[in-house]
Amino acid sequence: MRRTQAERDAITVEIGYALCSAAFAAAVVFGAAAGPALLFALPGAVEGLLLGAGAVLAPVLFLVRVVSVLMRFRPADQPSQPGRTRPDS
């Protein structure tokens, strides 16, 4: 099936939105998890735990966000004969 230019543009915009919103969400989660370790003098174990948590949570959230946005965008299938809604028509 060939896609129209408008469909290709919509897909491109949706991919861009998915990547940008995922990067923003991952940065916020990393900042929330690892921020205290970067701002305050904490014991070494706590600092390592917070940095590790941020380093694990951020990429996981990034992937989940990208997949969820792109899965929601699935375009609806078009009927093979537009205008016919009943199978016997």
pLDDT cut 90: percent of the chain above it: 60
Amino acid letter, residue 38: L
With 60 as the cut, is the pLDDT of residue 89 above it?
no
Place of tokens 């205290």: 36
Does residue 3 carry a pLDDT above 60? Answer: yes
pLDDT in tens, 10-47: 999 999 999 999 999 999 999 999 999 989 888 989 99
Q: Label residue 88 by pLDDT band (50, 70, 90).
A: low
pTM for this prediction: 0.75
DSSP labels, the chain: -PPPHHHHHHHHHHHHHHHHHHHHHHHHHHHHHHHHHHHS---HHHHHHHHHHHHHHHHHHHHHHHHHHHHHT-PPPPPSSTT--STT-
